[in-house]
């Protein structure tokens, strides 16, 4: 079973920051938090991942709470192309560890 | 970044036929491949894990005789849906493991069984 819970859907106005929360209260010390998104009829696209420090790349920022029980993905300036289902995943440090998807958050960017 | 290809991108077949889906890891050698399927408006569900040179391991509830997986080389894994039926219509996605931390996914194969 997935170790994460996310809101089913969210709306965000175009140009504003989209903040997507994720709860992972049973995360283990060596498990990473990964974020992917899936645009309709495509494979999941990697966004960002982190262990305990906040991370930022050209797509997004990942804020992980100090107790690591939750995290937030931030898309700083949402565009219509960011409309997708966003998945938060907890995964072990072994690259052969399974990747179990939860239900994700359907993000609607409103013009 | 890593490139993962799948072939075909979509396929329509008659009930009772078998369909083979290929997944290729184009820029690193993958000893492990994960296969998923996704029904409309649902999340990705892990079906099986293929391992180069050994038998695949299947998730609970997935019929190994119906979904044949072959991982013959470090860059190619295949999923064959045998005697496909309309309920097998789905979006099938693969991802090679053991390479990049980012874990790149294939573009998916849409199977429609008539």
Q: Compute the average pLDDT of residues A67-91.
A: 96
What pLDDT does B99 receive?
63
Q: Compute the average pLDDT of residues A6-16.
A: 97
Q: With an 8 Å Cβ cutoff, is A46 touching chain B?
A: yes
Report DSSP state, residue A97. Answer: S
Strands in A16-103 per DSSP E: 18-23, 32-38, 45-50, 55-56, 61-64, 70-75, 84-91
pLDDT one-digit tens code per residue, B57-94: 999 999 999 999 998 888 899 999 999 999 999 999 99
Residue A94 pLDDT more than 60? yes
What pLDDT does B97 receive?
84
Residue B100 pLDDT more than 70? no
Question: How many Å apart are CA A29 and CA B27, to the nearest integer?
Answer: 31
Residue A38 pLDDT more than 80? yes
In sequence order, which residues have a C-beta less than 8 Å from that of residue A67 and are 6 or more positions away?
none
Of A46, A49, A99, the CB nearest to B34: A99
Percent of chain B with pLDDT over 90: 73
pLDDT one-digit tens code per residue, B33-50: 999 999 999 999 999 999
Q: Tell me which of B52 and B12 has the higher pLDDT.
A: B12
Q: In this structure, is the dihedral angle defined by the CA atoms of residues B5, B11, B16 and B18, taken in order, positive or negative?
A: negative
State both tokens at B67: 């979904």
- Which of A31, A37, A38, A43 to mutate: most B Cβ within 10 Å? A43
- Among candidate residues A2, A18, A59, A105, the one with its CA nearest the CA of residue B102: A59
């Amino acid at each position: 079973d997935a170790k994460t819970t996310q809101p089913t859907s969210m709306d965000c106005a175009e140009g504003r920051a989209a903040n997507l929360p994720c709860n992972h209260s049973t995360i283990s010390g060596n498990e990473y938090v990964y974020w992917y998104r899936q645009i309709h009829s495509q494979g999941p696209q990697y966004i960002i991942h982190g262990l305990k420090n906040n991370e930022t790349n050209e797509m997004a920022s990942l804020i992980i709470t100090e107790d690591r029980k939750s995290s937030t993905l931030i898309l700083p300036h949402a565009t219509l192309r960011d409309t997708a289902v966003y998945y938060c995943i907890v995964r072990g440090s072994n690259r052969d560890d399974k990747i179990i998807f939860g239900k994700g958050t359907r993000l609607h960017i409103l013009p | 970044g890593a490139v993962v290809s799948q072939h075909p991108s979509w396929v329509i077949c008659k009930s009772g036929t078998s369909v083979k889906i290929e997944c290729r890891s184009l820029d690193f050698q993958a000893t492990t491949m994960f296969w998923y399927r996704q029904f409309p408006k649902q999340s990705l569900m892990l079906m099986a894990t293929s391992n180069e040179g050994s038998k695949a391991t299947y998730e609970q509830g997935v019929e190994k005789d119906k979904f044949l997986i072959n991982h013959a080389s470090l860059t190619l894994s295949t999923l064959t849906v045998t005697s496909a039926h309309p309920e097998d219509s789905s979006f099938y996605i693969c991802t090679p493991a053991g390479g990049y931390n980012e874990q790149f996914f294939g573009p998916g194969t849409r199977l429609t069984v008539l």
